[in-house]
Amino acid sequence: MNSAIPRFYEMPLDRRLKTVQEFSGLDDNEIALLKQECALDNSIAEIMIENVIGTTHLPVGIATYFLINDKDYLIPMAIEEPSVVAAASHAAKLARLSGGFKAKSTTPVMTGQVQIKNVHDFDIAEETILKSIDSIKALANKQDSTLVKRGGGLVSAECRKLETERGDMLVVHLNIDVRDAMGANAVNTMCESVAPYLEELTGGIASMKIISNLAAQRLVTAEAVWKKNELGEELIEGILDAYAFAKADPYRAATNNKGIMNGIDAVLIAAGNDFRAVESGAHSYACMSGRYQPLAHYRKNENGDLVGRIELPMAVGIVGGATKTNPIARIALKILGVRSANELGEISACAGLANNFAAVRAIVKEGIQHGHMKLHAKNIAIIAGAQGDKVHQLAERMIREKMVSVSRAEELLKEMGH
Ligand code: NAD
């Protein structure tokens, strides 16, 4: 049997499962697990994506102690990696001592790009487009009266001349206020509807019409202060050295920013958001200077306390996408009590900053493995085949021995007669 399976998408779920079983040799228990429904019913999953055979699960933990703009939050985080929830909570607990996080956002403006080829005179094309902005606006806004009613819609257009390996191109940016949506569908629809008119105005040929995930006009900033008397001067100096290291070295900055995205993605996955969109925006924003940089910045204030500040694009939504179809996302948004997409973005940025601070603090202070060890050891025990109480016993023993590895876990399991 090969993977060329015509009309797989039209098969009922049971037949799809049978086909996958025949292909891969899954046993009946494994098929039963795939069929087992969770909060997200298979019937809803089938509306969300194609070729569904089941749903997957992630733990959802609650990060505590977050005080953001003087409001208390319990933050649901969906993630498979140990220590992220604990680290975020710990950083928030320490930040709370100096008033918690302060966060703010710009207007939620996303950018759509229309690529126009074969333009003879770029200056005239630009002038014509900018002169016709009212008609462009009317055309775009006609596509989404719901958005316009809520105060959103096209706000401006910009023209960029791009020199590429296949010749010069005109790229028109349509800047669209998407209010509480992530905005990709809204932006793409508007770009497509405006493109024929842009062709008319420029005499060129509109090719790609698509959102940019470098949402450089939709930014969130968040700041927190960690007190000198809590951290100690030595640790603060260590964190500042770590920041300097990340600024000077993309190898370090990559891992630093991964730690930030641990927090941000976990919030966004719980809230049913497109975390890949935020990831690509974050990493491209980290390169805006031409060199890959850390997304969070550290300095000492006049009292010698550590001030952390994060700034990044935040294309998130509390309407649209999977925010309503996935019941867990609905519940996560209710736990957060968010009233706007901006508020969700601010919370996510604070979680990112908290995780960054906690990870760097741990690496500088005691090494990252120290805090990871408990859950990591349990995970290793399960990989080695431990079940029930043995998972805990085995993990404890490996931690005592300071030897956490699958091979050691297997040896110990044998000794324990498992
Ligand atoms: P959507 O089209 O599902 O919902 C947005 C719509 O909801 C708006 O256009 C508006 O008509 C309506 N709406 C109701 N109340 C609103 C409010 N208060 N504020 C704003 N709009 C309101 O979703 P979307 O946000 O346009 O698109 C998000 C989806 O697009 C995500 O699932 C994402 O994965 C997907 N997507 C992403 C990309 C990308 O990032 N490159 C590309 C294509 C699709």
Q: Identify whether 209 is a catalytic site residue.
A: no
Asked if 354 and 250 sit in the same domain, the reply is yes
Tell me, in angstroms, the distance from the centre of ligand 1 to residue 188's CA: 10
Is residue 409 situated within a structural domain? yes
Asked if 132 and 176 sit in the same domain, the reply is yes
Is residue 2 situated within a structural domain? no
Asked if 357 and 237 sit in the same domain, the reply is yes
Model-wide pTM > 0.85: yes
Q: Give pLDDT tens digits for 21-76.
A: 999 999 999 999 999 988 999 999 999 999 999 999 999 999 999 999 999 999 99
For ligand 1, pick from 111, 147, 208 the residue to mutate: most ligand atoms within 8 Å of CB. Answer: 147
Is residue 257 situated within a structural domain? yes
Which positions ≥6 away from 234 have C-beta within 8 Å?
none
Phi, psi of 47 (to 5 degrees): -85, -25
Is it the case that residue 374 has pLDDT exceeding 80? no
Asked if 195 and 88 sit in the same domain, the reply is no
Check 173, 227, 258, 392 and give the catalytic one: 258
The finding on whether 179 has its CB within 6 A of some atom of ligand 1 is: yes
CATH of the domain at 239: 3.90.770.10
Instruction: Kindly state the average pLDDT of the residues 133-145.
Output: 97
Is residue 117 situated within a structural domain? yes
* C-alpha dist (Å) from residue 380 to 276, 370, 376, 396, 415: 29, 15, 6, 11, 16
Asked if 309 and 381 sit in the same domain, the reply is no
Give strand ranges (E) for 149-230: 153-164, 167-177, 205-212, 219-226
Q: Give pLDDT tens digits for 266-309.
A: 999 999 999 999 999 999 999 999 999 999 999 999 999 999 99
Q: How many residues does the chain have?
A: 418
Is residue 324 situated within a structural domain? yes
Q: Give pLDDT tens digits for 351-363.
A: 999 999 999 999 9
CA–CA separation, 217 vs 264, rounded Å? 19
Asked if 163 and 261 sit in the same domain, the reply is no
CB contact at 8 A, 222 and 101? yes
What is the position in ligand 1's atom list of the atom closest to the CA of 180?
19
Is residue 113 situated within a structural domain? yes
CB contact at 8 A, 418 and 386? yes
The finding on whether 185 has its CB within 6 A of some atom of ligand 1 is: yes
Q: Give pLDDT tens digits for 198-256.
A: 999 999 999 999 999 999 999 999 999 999 999 999 999 999 999 999 999 999 999 99
What is the position in ligand 1's atom list of the atom closest to the CA of 341?
19
Asked if 165 and 270 sit in the same domain, the reply is no
At 369, the pLDDT band (50, 70, 90 cuts) reads: low
Which positions ≥6 away from 416 have C-beta within 8 Å?
390, 393, 394
* Half-sphere exposure for 187 (CA within 13 Å, toward CB): 30
Q: Per DSSP, what are the bridge partners of residue 77?
A: 61
pLDDT at residue 400, as a whole number: 86
Is residue 48 left, alpha or beta, with left meaning phi > 0 and alpha meaning psi from -120 to 50?
alpha
CA–CA separation, 134 vs 178, rounded Å? 18
Q: Identify whether 18 is a catalytic site residue.
A: no
For ligand 1, pick from 319, 326, 338, 343 the residue to mutate: most ligand atoms within 8 Å of CB. Answer: 319
Asked if 353 and 387 sit in the same domain, the reply is no
pLDDT at residue 368, as a whole number: 62
Q: Per DSSP, what are the bridge partners of residue 73?
A: 66
- Listing DSSP states for 105-170 in one string gives E---EEEEEEEEE--S-HHHHHHHHHHTHHHHHHHHHTT-HHHHHTT-EEEEEEEEEEEETTEEEE
Q: Give pLDDT tens digits for 75-102.
A: 999 999 999 999 999 999 999 999 999 9
Tell me, in angstroms, the distance from the centre of ligand 1 to residue 74's CA: 25
At 103, the pLDDT band (50, 70, 90 cuts) reads: very high
Is it the case that residue 371 has pLDDT exceeding 80? no
Which positions ≥6 away from 127 have C-beta within 8 Å?
none
Q: Per DSSP, what are the bridge partners of residue 193?
A: none
| Domain-ending residue, one of 164, 194, 211 | 211
Q: By C-alpha distance, which of 264, 114, 268, 142 is closest to 200?
A: 114
Is residue 411 situated within a structural domain? yes
Is it the case that residue 378 has pLDDT exceeding 90? no
Q: How many domains does the chain have?
A: 4
Asked if 277 and 339 sit in the same domain, the reply is yes
CATH of the domain at 202: 3.30.70.420
CA–CA separation, 252 vs 261, rounded Å? 14
Is residue 53 situated within a structural domain? no
The finding on whether 410 has its CB within 6 A of some atom of ligand 1 is: no
Q: Give pLDDT tens digits for 181-190.
A: 999 999 999 9
Q: By C-alpha distance, which of 257, 262, 225 is closest to 85?
A: 262
Asked if 204 and 249 sit in the same domain, the reply is no
By percentage, how much of the chain surpasses pLDDT 90? Answer: 88
Q: By C-alpha distance, which of 253, 306, 304 is closest to 282?
A: 253
CA–CA separation, 183 vs 211, rounded Å? 9
| Domain-ending residue, one of 211, 231, 256 | 211
Tell me, in angstroms, the distance from the centre of ligand 1 to residue 156's CA: 19
What is the position in ligand 1's atom list of the atom closest to the CA of 274?
34
> Looking only at Cα atoms, what is the longest distance across the chain?
82
Q: Which two tokens stand for residue 71?
A: 């409001």
Q: Identify whether 80 is a catalytic site residue.
A: no
CATH of the domain at 410: 1.10.8
Q: Look over the chain and give the mean of its residue pLDDT values, rounded to a whole number.
A: 95
The DSSP output letter for 341 is: H
CA–CA separation, 228 vs 236, rounded Å? 7
pLDDT at residue 165, as a whole number: 97
Asked if 82 and 227 sit in the same domain, the reply is yes
Asked if 349 and 408 sit in the same domain, the reply is no
Domain that holds residue 336: 60-104+218-367
Helix or strand run (H / E) with residue 102: strand 102-105
How would you label 57-81 residue by residue, b for 16+ Cβ within 10 Å and e otherwise?
eeebbbbbbbbbbeeebebbbbbee
Q: Is the dihedral of CA 357, 359, 365, 371 positive or negative?
A: positive
CA–CA separation, 10 vs 24, rounded Å? 20
At 367, the pLDDT band (50, 70, 90 cuts) reads: low
Which positions ≥6 away from 288 have C-beta within 8 Å?
216
Q: Per DSSP, what are the bridge partners of residue 117?
A: 205
